[in-house]
Amino acid sequence: MKDLYIEGATRIAKLMLNRAEELKASGGCALIFPHKSVDGDCVGSSSALASLLRTLGAKAWVCMPEELPNNMSFLGIDDLLFYPPKDFIKGDMLVNGNRYELAFSVDCSEAHRMGDTGEIFDVYEDQMDVDHHEVMHLAGPLRWIEPQASSACEMVFYVASKLSELKNVPLDQIVDIRCAKCLMAGVVTDTGRFTYSNTRPETLETAGILMELGGDITEVCYNLFDLKTPSEFAISSAACSNAYFCCDGRLAIAEVTSEMFERYKAGRDEIADVVSRLRDVGGVEFACVLRETGEGSIRGNLRSKTDFDCSLFAERYGGGGHKRAAGFTVVGRDINELAQEIVREASKLL
């Protein structure tokens, strides 16, 4: 582990040990909060943290902002997931009979990125956080924010390694096979199967250890990247076919409407590969996919492979992320008008 990560990983590991003892004494539980529009990193890191807290003897669940995508069902984490009722805060705040007493976020630090579950996260000011997005204004003793890390899952792996040292037990007693698989899911997602510029030597070392712990990289990559349902294949192909290119081929954009989802009988998350496919077209520097997600909202996914900053661009629409990959959600916009606006604004930066 690089010196860069030691302080943060050690601090969070010690906090987890202390909080686990407090939860065991009180009979309460922890909720771990991923961001909305879930992906392999937020699901993997939140599930791994829930698993680690359970290994320490505490009760913990992942507070899901939406249904788990089908391509992540292979992780076998249903028993770790909690879908809160709409009146959770107005009620007794019990999670499977256990009172909610600790808020822990991963892969995001701000409640507004969590969807409806953000309100539950904000019930307690005493919030823990592990995040690799650059939100330094939220730094504090309960938060570990490390933008240089490839993924939240890589950071959680370092926390698990420190827990192993602090408890003086082998790492495989802290990270079981399922936990290793979850952590591998996040690492491969946010590094694009180790092809993105955020892949560092320590990232590959982490992946190697996770493989030894049972994180089958072949299984993980196949399910997250390669496996397609017929409807997913059809709508992804249609979205790519309908994409158009601007700025002398430097910008690629696709619009996926509700009508298209209905026509192909596809789920709203079944076009995850489209934005990367558009970015990979020769000459494209910036790719954007807009999809109607229902109830008047539109989700935008952004990717780049040059100096175009997706995170800064996403901030214009209330979103965020990383320089090479970001996203946003807007409400009450027409998808075609939004696409034209994005073309105009992005053209000024390309």
How do residues 312-344 score in pLDDT, each as one tens digit?
999 999 988 888 889 999 999 999 999 999 999
**Residues 230-347, CATH architecture:** Roll (3.10)
pLDDT given at position 112:
87
Q: What tens digit of pLDDT does each residue of 252-264 get?
A: 999 999 999 999 9
Decide whether 3-224 matches 230-347 in CATH topology.
no
Alpha-helical segments (H) within 201-326 = 201-212, 217-221, 230-242, 258-263, 274-279, 310-315
Task: Yes or no: say if 103 and 121 are a contact pair by the CB < 8 Å rule.
Answer: yes
pTM: 0.89
For the chain, give the longest Cα–Cα distance. 63
What six digits make up the tokens of 89?
Answer: 């805060």
Q: What tens digit of pLDDT does each residue of 33-66 get?
A: 999 989 999 999 999 999 999 999 999 999 999 9
- Tokens 């009146």 belong to 87
Report phi then psi at 265, rounded to 5.
Answer: 50, 45
pLDDT given at position 269:
82
Nearest to 144 by CA among 267, 39, 322, 12: 12
3-state secondary structure at position 329: strand
pLDDT given at position 137:
56
Which option is the CATH number for 3-224: 1.10.10.60, 3.90.1640.10, 3.40.50.720, 3.30.70.260? 3.90.1640.10
Q: What is the mean pLDDT of residues 69-83?
A: 96
| Domain ranges across the chain | 3-224, 230-347
Task: Yes or no: say if 69 and 50 are a contact pair by the CB < 8 Å rule.
Answer: no
Q: What tens digit of pLDDT does each residue of 219-250 get?
A: 999 999 999 999 999 999 999 999 999 999 99
- Tokens 């990560």 belong to 5
Beta partners for residue 221, in sequence order: none
Report phi then psi at 228, rounded to 5.
Answer: -130, 135
Q: Please determine, for residue 350, whether its predicted confidence score (pLDDT) is greater than 70.
A: yes
